[in-house]
Amino acid sequence: MTLRFLAATAILTAILLVAACGDDESNPQGSGTNPTASSLTASVSSNTATLAWTQCPDDDFSSYVLYRSETSGIASNPSSASLAATITDQDSLTYADGDLDWNTPYYYAIQTVDSSQLTAWSNEATITTPDSSGGGGGSVLTCFEIQGQADVSPYENDDVTVTGIVTASAGEYYHAENQFAVIEDATGGEWSGLVLYGYDGILNNLVRGDSVVVSGYVKEYFGLTEVVVSSVDFDDPGHTVPVPKAISTADVNLEKWEGVLVSVSGVTVTDDDLGYGEWYVDDGSGDARIDDLGDYTYSPSTGDTFAEIIGVVFYSHDNYKIEPRNESDLTQ
């Protein structure tokens, strides 16, 4: 066997290996580099979800596979989800998922697939469709959209129609002249809550668990994002109230919890008289204000401990504060 033959054989072997390996892997069951995952966002108008994602830059891209589910955790259990779309155009980065059920939370995730059938999951994005009444046919927004993930709502001073589940009934929070109520997206979480303000008893019939569609205009009332309600377009009772989001006392002071039903646990009263019915509690992470806008008789005393305090986060007089709705929100 000549050196020339050995060299030719080595070159041919190398060529075959390169052809077999493709861009980054030859055996989907073996080692290889997973494709670049996309970042997914979701929005809703009426009963159509609009999904948008970042492009996979890989040369061996094969498809984006979009999954939909009514429960979270798609990546860990894909068989529980429905296939919404398979998209083979690498430059196609949006999809409209229509004809969804009304007043229903949906979760979405994208699995990016390459030519060797290796995969990567996006983050999971969620939306909640509004009630079918839709406030006269206009675009129905979520609390998350009204909040805009910012200190000031992107809809400030605009007329809007918004949907949510009532977490604090009209009249549970005291106001000398008119009424507050609070709604929240069914999925809960950051930026999911919104304070409603109503004149002349317009919110009278709203109670916890009502699924509502209301219209009005967005106002930043000394830093509190609220909708001043002009009409209650739809009111369907008996829905599940979002579970209070467990947060630390330090996190009460973050804008993302404004309007959200939250809970703090294992807290101690550190100051029983801040004025105007306000007092401090601390779970060790930092002080949080508790206020007396709700209907409870407890009189705070420094050193008292609570297993749990529940309430909606309000903002007034330059402070975030938890507003327990009544006595049952205070568990010692």
Report yes or no: 271 and 253 within 8 Å, Cβ to Cβ. no
CA 313 to chain centre: 16
107 and 34 fall within a common domain: yes
113 and 141 fall within a common domain: no
Per-residue b/e over 274-293, b at no fewer than 16 CB within 10 Å?
A: beeebbbbbbeeebbbbbbb
Instruction: Identify the domain boundary among 71, 100, 129.
Output: 129
Domain containing residue 103: 1-129
**What does the pLDDT read at residue 208?**
96
Q: Which residue has the tokens 């930026």?
A: 191
220 and 249 fall within a common domain: no
CA 97 to chain centre: 19
Smallest CA-to-CA distance from 127 within 110, 150, 104 is with 104
Torsion of CA 292, 294, 298, 300, to 10 degrees: -20
203 and 269 fall within a common domain: no
**What does the pLDDT read at residue 29?**
42
Report the length, in residues, of the chain. Answer: 332
Instruction: Identify the domain boundary among 206, 236, 266.
Output: 236
- Could you tell me the CATH number of the domain that includes residue 191? 2.40.50.140
pTM: 0.62
**What does the pLDDT read at residue 140?**
86
**What does the pLDDT read at residue 18?**
38
Smallest CA-to-CA distance from 291 within 170, 169, 174, 147 is with 174
Report residue 239 as tokens. 């829905």
Instruction: Specify the number of domains making up the chain.
Output: 3
218 and 281 fall within a common domain: no
Instruction: Identify the domain boundary among 129, 161, 190.
Output: 129
Residues of the chain with pLDDT under 70: 1-31, 46, 130-138
4 and 124 fall within a common domain: yes
200 and 254 fall within a common domain: no
**What does the pLDDT read at residue 21?**
37
88 and 167 fall within a common domain: no
**What does the pLDDT read at residue 300?**
95
**What does the pLDDT read at residue 251?**
97
109 and 147 fall within a common domain: no
Cα separation, 71 vs 293, in Å, equals 35
322 and 306 fall within a common domain: yes
Pairing outcome for strands 40-45 and 48-53:
antiparallel
DSSP sequence for 197-248? EESTTTTTT--TT-EEEEEEEEEEETTEEEEEEEEEEEEE--PPPPPPEE--
7 and 48 fall within a common domain: yes
185 and 289 fall within a common domain: no
- Could you tell me the CATH number of the domain that includes residue 13? 2.60.40.10
